[in-house]
């Protein structure tokens, strides 16, 4: 069993702790009363769903489909990205570039 498999079965509070200590924050967006935060963890993308009213985590999901990243790219504020890690900047730049190339073809 790898680290990601172990992470998958942790309780939400423990997942939060692992993300804060080992994950790289990439970006965040707001939708339907939720703040959804994207992390990179163990080479994979993880979404964390927070209720906006009390900042309580209501869900954590490992992204299985990278196409969901387009939602983050569309809502990405460059000021937010510049404040993040180099890894986060590179991941989003690479994805946005791939999306633009696919739309152009």
Q: Following DSSP, what letter does each residue of 75-102 receive, concatenated?
A: T--HHHHHTS-HHHHHHHHHHHHHHHHH
* pLDDT at residue number 36: 92
Quote the tokens at residue 91. 């991941």
Quote the tokens at residue 24. 């790289």
* pLDDT at residue number 28: 85
Mean pLDDT by 10 residues, the chain (105 residues): 82 94 86 90 91 92 83 66 60 58 52
* pLDDT at residue number 65: 82
Which residue bears the tokens 């080992």? Answer: 22
In this prediction the pTM is: 0.70
* pLDDT at residue number 1: 39
């Amino acid at each position: 069993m790898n680290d990601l498999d172990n992470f998958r079965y942790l309780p939400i509070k423990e997942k939060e702790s692992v993300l804060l200590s080992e994950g790289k924050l990439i970006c965040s967006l707001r939708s339907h009363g939720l703040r959804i935060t994207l992390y990179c963890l163990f080479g994979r993308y993880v979404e964390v769903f927070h209720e906006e009213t009390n900042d309580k985590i209501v869900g954590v999901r490992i992204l299985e489909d990278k196409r969901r990243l387009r939602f983050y790219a569309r809502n990405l504020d460059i000021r937010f990205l510049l404040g993040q890690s180099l890894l986060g900047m590179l991941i989003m730049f690479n994805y946005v570039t791939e999306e633009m190339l696919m739309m152009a073809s």
